[in-house]
């Protein structure tokens, strides 16, 4: 008897373990594993440069795990999948659901088209602990504040499913006529800005599990407090792996829960809850990447200043904590979450530049650039989103630096031109006496910029601008 052939369409689930759609596909027949780079339907939301870099190495790792059987394409899945089904006599297509608005619309159309051709489609949840439509208030409306969303919604809902093992004895088959090599996708930059990043990361499912184990052994022990200090090792750095699905949130959740309930494990689980909250916001507000959730912000008097925007992007604002964060982003494709809040607040509240400019830059530079998390986080820091920081909460990058990088280790790492400056002046070098600057080899305006904005004055201007909003 001939065994049925099915497709597993890999998307944001680039792993073999705890992959619900792959697990079910393995029960149904021989599997043709497929990845399709779809820039056509993504349009303005196609992956940025850093994400494409990660994807190259993640696909390489996945293909190795599949014994070289991954079939790779570039184009419109609505054309590629029906063609594959026809050529290989595919009976069923499996995938794990995605939640970006453009993907929801695309997947619905593909599902209907395949069914009209006599090909069944089965989709699963492989990316979230709780899908957006499963968490709502008693009146059926979505939560707009995180704490009740997580405490009353998520923690009162059915518990997340247990992780699945990798399917056994799977026969993977390959399409030998139309598949591309990973290099053919041209995901890597033509200018080799990515070389430093290679030294910071491992890629793929095995690397994701290594990061999780490392965090369980040494990071989670002081997570609630330690996660705020960018020079310390109390964060998981799992965000790129979660974004590409090299590890599932279920695997992280249950691994943490095995350590028992305490303030550190509970807080890490609540951070996974913030990820769920972001996806809920995007699902119920498809314009989240573009449109203020609070309509009153549509009248905000954002300034236009390309020179200041470029200084922020390059880490040349003259504010060390901001510059260190922006250079970490450029060098590693990652930025510590505390520092993300600092640089975001500086852009929108000290420079009065539109949060969407920051969102776009992060989209291109972050390895973990996630439409839901990125958009929701920028709306949060700007004050215009759900459960947002109040407009009068303006992060002072000088005091934040002194508090969360007290020894200056983080700043000195990413701003070597300031490494010899005494810690007392490291967070505000413009306050250092000339002799101190000279002794440290710092020439403001020459090898390190003067501040592009007065922090106190810009704070007052921001407060006035935000207070002018009605409603």
Residue positions counted in the chain? 471
Tokens of 356: 């969407």
Question: How far is Cα 4 from Cα 405, in angstroms, rounded to an integer?
Answer: 58
Catalytic one of 302, 305, 420, 461: 302
100 an active-site residue? no
User: Is 206 known as a binding-site position?
Assistant: no
Burial class (CB in 10 A: 0-12, 13-18, 19+), 136: middle
DSSP string, 129-184: SS-GGG---TTSPPP-SHHHIIIIIITTSPPPPPPPPPPSS--B---TTTPPPGGG
Ligand-binding annotation for 223, yes or no, is: yes
* Distances 275 to 6, 16, 241, 354, 396 between C-alpha atoms, Å: 32, 22, 13, 23, 26
- Residue 271 a catalytic site member: yes
274 is catalytic: yes
Q: Which residue among the candidates 9, 54, 253, 274 is catalytic per the annotation?
A: 274
Catalytic residue from among 122, 131, 166, 271? 271
Annotated active-site residue in 330, 355, 361, 380: 355
337 is catalytic: yes
Q: Is 460 among the catalytic positions?
A: no
| Residues 12 and 98: beta-carbon distance below 8 Å | yes
122, 131, 166, 337: the catalytic one is 337
Whether 386 has a binding-site annotation, put simply, is: no
Strand arrangement of the beta sheet that strand 120-124 belongs to: 71-74, 30-37, 5-10, 92-96, 120-124
107 annotated ligand-binding residue: no
- Cα separations in angstroms, 373 against 124, 161, 164, 377: 21, 22, 25, 6
Q: 368: annotated binding-site residue?
A: yes
Q: What is the DSSP letter of 2?
A: P
Question: Which runs of E-coded beta strand occur in 46-161?
Answer: 71-74, 92-96, 120-124
Known binding-site residues for FAD equal: 223, 268, 368-370
Known binding-site residues equal: 223, 268, 368-370
- Active-site positions read 271, 274, 302, 337, 355, 378
């Amino acid at each position: 008897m001939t065994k049925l052939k099915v497709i597993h369409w890999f998307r944001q689930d680039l792993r073999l373990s705890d992959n619900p759609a792959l697990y079910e596909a393995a029960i149904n027949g021989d599997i043709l594993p497929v990845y399709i780079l779809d820039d056509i339907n993504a349009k303005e939301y196609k992956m940025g440069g850093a994400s494409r870099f990660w994807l190259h190495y993640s696909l390489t790792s996945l293909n190795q795990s599949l014994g070289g059987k991954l079939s790779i394409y570039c184009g419109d899945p609505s054309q590629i999948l029906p063609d594959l089904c026809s050529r290989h006599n595919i009976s069923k297509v499996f995938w794990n659901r995605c939640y970006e608005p453009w993907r929801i619309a695309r997947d619905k159309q593909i599902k209907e088209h395949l069914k009209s051709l006599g090909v069944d489609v089965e989709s699963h949840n492989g990316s979230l602990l709780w899908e957006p439509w499963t968490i709502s208030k008693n009146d059926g409306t979505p939560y707009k504040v995180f704490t009740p969303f997580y405490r009353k919604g998520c923690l009162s809902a059915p518990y997340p499913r247990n992780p699945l093992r990798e399917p056994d004895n799977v026969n993977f088959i390959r399409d030998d006529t139309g598949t591309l090599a990973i290099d053919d996708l041209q995901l890597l930059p033509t200018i080799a800005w990515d070389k430093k990043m290679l030294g910071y990361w491992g890629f793929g499912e095995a690397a994701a599990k290594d990061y999780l184990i490392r965090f369980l052994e040494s990071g989670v022990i002081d997570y609630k407090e330690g996660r705020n200090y960018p020079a310390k090792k109390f964060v998981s750095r799992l965000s790129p792996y979660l974004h590409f699905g090299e590890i599932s949130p279920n695997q992280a959740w249950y691994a943490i829960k095995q350590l028992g309930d305490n303030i550190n494990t509970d807080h890490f689980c609540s951070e996974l809850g913030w990820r769920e909250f972001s996806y809920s916001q995007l699902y119920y507000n498809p314009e989240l990447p573009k449109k203020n959730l609070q309509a009153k912000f549509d009248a905000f008097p954002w300034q236009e200043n390309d020179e200041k925007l470029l200084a922020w992007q390059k880490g040349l604002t003259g504010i060390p904590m901001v510059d260190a964060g922006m250079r970490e982003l450029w060098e590693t494709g990652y930025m510590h979450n505390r520092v993300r809040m600092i640089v975001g607040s500086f852009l929108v509240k000290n420079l009065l530049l539109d949060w969407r400019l920051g969102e776009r830059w992060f989209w291109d530079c972050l390895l973990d650039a996630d439409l839901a998390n990125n958009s929701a986080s920028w709306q949060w820091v700007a004050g215009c989103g759900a459960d947002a920081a109040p407009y009068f909460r303006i992060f002072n990058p000088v005091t934040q630096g002194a508090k969360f990088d007290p020894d200056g280790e983080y700043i000195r790492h990413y701003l070597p031109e300031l490494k010899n400056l005494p810690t007392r002046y490291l967070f505000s070098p413009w306050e250092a006496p000339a002799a101190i600057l000279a002794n440290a080899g710092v020439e403001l305006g020459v090898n390190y910029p003067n501040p592009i904005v007065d922090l106190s004055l810009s704070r007052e201007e921001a407060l006035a601008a935000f207070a002018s909003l009605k409603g």
